[in-house]
């Protein structure tokens, strides 16, 4: 993908036999997701998937935080041809073009990554905010440092939540509603308690713990792992997850369209102050 090579926001490492580690390498913006970063990440996932020496893929992040979410300053234009959807409406004015962009670059890429036919493990430290969850939740297993927090405060901007809307599966329906309604960050311990996170470890042990788990998984036959993954993902689909995702992205874009009509912007411009005010009066549990 020559047109998404510069600047480089993704790094590939090979920490152990059978294990590829793909690293978000844009710490100066807390790994904010520009379209370029997302498509470089997709290319790295595709390369590791096609590489027969790789059995398990780890997703990691440089710097103090896993991801601060979407890079709103980077705009909403693809850096390359679409890979997850057929071109229809990209670049169109109003809600039409933005809906096409989000179906491709946000929901479309996340669905591709959820269904990578190899086990995937994310390791998260520091903050993961809104769009950051879009990189974590499609992974099969999540390991969190004990300083990690997870939040989706975007009801403040007049939309439902991050575009990959698996909240009810990740958190359970009641906790999902509380977190969406308040914007409050979940701690790593809370995330483990509700089943969103598999293990919580000391920050200094995050890399080693994750690599050891990946190595243990890589000792098993590739096809057995693939069949196990597909069986679990199909169970989620049988519960209606893929249909729920398609419904939520449409409602999400109804929110964007409402904001466009009211404010001339896809986000309610008062949202940032709502989030700041909530942080000042935060109720900790
Ligand atoms: Zn959106």
Q: For residue range 248-260, what is the model confidence (pLDDT) as tens digits?
A: 999 999 999 999 9
Please tell me the distance between residue 212's alpha carbon and the centre of ligand 1 in angstroms: 36
* Residue 284, pLDDT score: 57
Give distance in angstroms: CA of 46 to centre of ligand 1. 24
Q: Which CATH class is domain 10-207+218-280?
A: alpha beta
- CA 90 to ligand 1 center in whole angstroms: 14
Q: What pLDDT score was predicted for residue 283?
A: 61
- The residue extents of the domains of the chain are 10-207+218-280
In this prediction, what percent of the chain has a pLDDT beyond 70? 97
In 3D, which of 133, 166, 164, 128 has the Cα closest to residue 147?
Answer: 128
Q: Compute the distance from residue 135 Cα to the ligand 1 centre, in Å.
A: 14
Tell how far the Cα of 263 is from the centroid of ligand 1, in angstroms: 15
pLDDT value, residue 2? 47
168 C-alpha to ligand 1 centroid (Å): 18
Distance 127 CA to ligand 1 centre (A): 20
- 9 C-alpha to center of ligand 1: Å? 22
Residues of the chain with pLDDT under 70: 1-5, 283-285
Q: How far is CA 216 from CA 17, 60, 113, 170, 225, in A?
A: 11, 18, 22, 24, 12
Strand partners, 141: 121
CA distance 265 to 75: 12
CA 159 – ligand 1 centroid, Å: 7
Give every CB contact of residue 28 below 8 A, 6+ residues apart in sequence.
Answer: 63
CA-only gyration radius of the chain, Å: 18
| pLDDT for residue 276 | 85
Q: How far is the CA of 221 from the centre of ligand 1 (A)?
A: 39
How far does residue 250's CA lie from ligand 1's centre (Å)?
A: 10
State in Å: Cα 113 to ligand 1 middle. Answer: 18
How far is the centre of ligand 1, averaged over its atoms, from the C-alpha of 102 (Å)? 6
Phi first, then psi, for residue 129 (nearest 5°) are -120, 130
């Amino acid at each position: 993908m020559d047109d998404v090579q510069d600047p480089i926001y993704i790094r590939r490492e090979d920490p152990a036999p059978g294990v590829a580690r793909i690293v978000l390498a844009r710490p100066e913006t807390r790994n904010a997701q520009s379209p370029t970063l997302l498509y470089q990440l997709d290319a790295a996932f595709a390369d590791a998937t096609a590489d027969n020496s790789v059995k398990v893929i780890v997703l990691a992040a440089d710097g103090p935080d896993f991801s601060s979410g979407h890079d709103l300053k980077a705009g909403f234009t693809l850096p390359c041809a679409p890979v997850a959807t057929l071109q229809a409406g990209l670049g169109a004015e109003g809600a039409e073009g933005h809906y096409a962009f989000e179906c491709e670059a946000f929901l479309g890429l996340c669905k591709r990554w959820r269904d990578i036919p190899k086990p995937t493990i994310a390791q998260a430290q520091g903050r993961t905010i809104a769009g950051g969850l879009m990189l974590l939740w499609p992974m099969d297993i999540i390991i969190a440092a004990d300083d990690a927090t997870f939040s989706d405060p975007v009801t403040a901007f007049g939309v439902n939540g991050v575009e990959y809307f698996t909240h009810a599966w990740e958190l359970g329906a009641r906790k999902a509603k509380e977190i969406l309604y308040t914007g409050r960050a979940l701690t790593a311990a809370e995330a483990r308690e509700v089943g969103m996170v598999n293990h919580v470890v000391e920050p200094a042990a995050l890399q080693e713990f994750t690599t050891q788990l990946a190595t243990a998984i890589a000792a098993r036959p590739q096809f057995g792992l693939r069949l196990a993954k597909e069986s679990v993902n199909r169970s989620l689909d049988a519960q209606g997850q893929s249909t729920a995702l398609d419904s939520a992205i449409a409602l999400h874009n109804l929110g964007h369209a409402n904001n466009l009509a009211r404010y001339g912007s896809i986000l309610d411009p008062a949202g940032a102050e709502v989030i700041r005010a909530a942080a000042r009066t935060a109720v900790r549990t």
